[in-house]
Amino acid sequence: MTYENLRLSVTDGIGTLTIHRPDKLNALNSATIDELDRAIVAMGSDPQVAGIIVTGAGRAFVAGADIAELAALDTGGARELSRRGQEVFSRFESSHKPVIAAINGFALGGGCELAMACHIRIAADTAKFGQPEVKLGLIPGYGGTQRLTRLVGPGHAAELLLTGEIIDAHEAARIGLVNRVVPAADLMSTAEALVRQMSANAPLAQARILDAIRRAADAPSSALYDLEASGFTILAGTEDAREGTAAFLEKRAPRFTGR
Ligand code: COA
């Protein structure tokens, strides 16, 4: 399989997928999105690959969706572009092999969204993060509003999304956007060591763990409330709960009832 904007390699069980459009800071045009789709499917089904590292060539991880393409979109094209990006990034998230983003530089817009679709994020101390779409009169279209909110919580998500501010790697770690920050020179060796550590463990267990994590993050809050209410209902009817509440009231009844 040939790729114009990606470089793929497999060494010692580690699949490395490098986005390679350095003269455009690896901006994601439609061709690159299509190649990312093919690459994640190929790495996922390659028995030689135990874990996948995603990184960028040059001084950027990915500086966002390709603004030249965005400028030419009509309404129909915009929906199609957004749905296609969401679909492809979801394939990274639903990979049954661990996917680690090794963020070497700018991770802006679609770049930050791609990093968030990976399971783990390691940032070089030179990396920069942001969702600057609002400055273009847009919003993130590749799952960023949802994944950012889940990762850093609604307060930090609102601040980043509404200001379009760019933050450094240490701030990204502080708010939970990345797992850890390492010196730029150690970025790839750190990510590779992590894949090796994981690949010593059972692949089927890893696949189940990743599936469970994804489902937890995907569950709509109404379903979680249902789950919580069902659990509460079942437990409230048990002997343990009846005895526990009775024992509490027995000791404290005078204070609670005024007796
Ligand atoms: N889409 C298309 N091209 C992009 C791009 C993007 N998202 N980001 C950078 N590029 C291109 C630039 O147009 C330039 O190409 P050129 O030399 O052919 O003109 C090249 O990459 C280098 O970028 P440049 O802006 O000259 O580098 P810089 O160091 O001055 O600034 C950034 C770096 C990341 C701050 C700046 O490129 C930027 O703001 N990019 C857009 C980020 C963004 O808004 N992303 C979200 C899009 S929804």
pTM given for the model: 0.89
Ligand 1 pocket, residues with Cβ under 6 angstroms: 24-25, 27, 63-68, 106, 108-109, 132-133, 136
Q: Quick one: which of 113, 153, 154 has its CA closest to 133?
A: 113
133 included as an active-site residue: yes
CA dist., res. 245 & res. 232, Å (int): 14
Q: Quick one: which of 8, 112, 10 has its CA closest to 64?
A: 112
* DSSP strand pairing (128-130 vs 106-108): parallel
Q: What are the pLDDT digits (tens) for 142-185?
A: 999 999 999 999 999 999 999 999 999 999 999 999 999 999 99
Q: Which of 4, 69, 93, 133 is catalytic?
A: 133
Taking residues 223-229, report their average pLDDT. Answer: 66
- What pLDDT score does 135 carry? 93
Q: What are the pLDDT digits (tens) for 92-128?
A: 999 999 999 999 999 999 999 999 999 999 999 999 9
Q: What are the pLDDT digits (tens) for 45-92?
A: 999 999 999 999 999 999 999 999 998 988 888 999 999 999 999 999
Q: What are the pLDDT digits (tens) for 17-56?
A: 999 999 999 999 999 999 999 999 999 999 999 999 999 9
**Nearest-atom index, ligand 1, CA of 135:** 44
Tokens 């979801």 -> residue: 90
Return the residue whose CA atom lies nearest to atom 13 of ligand 1.
24
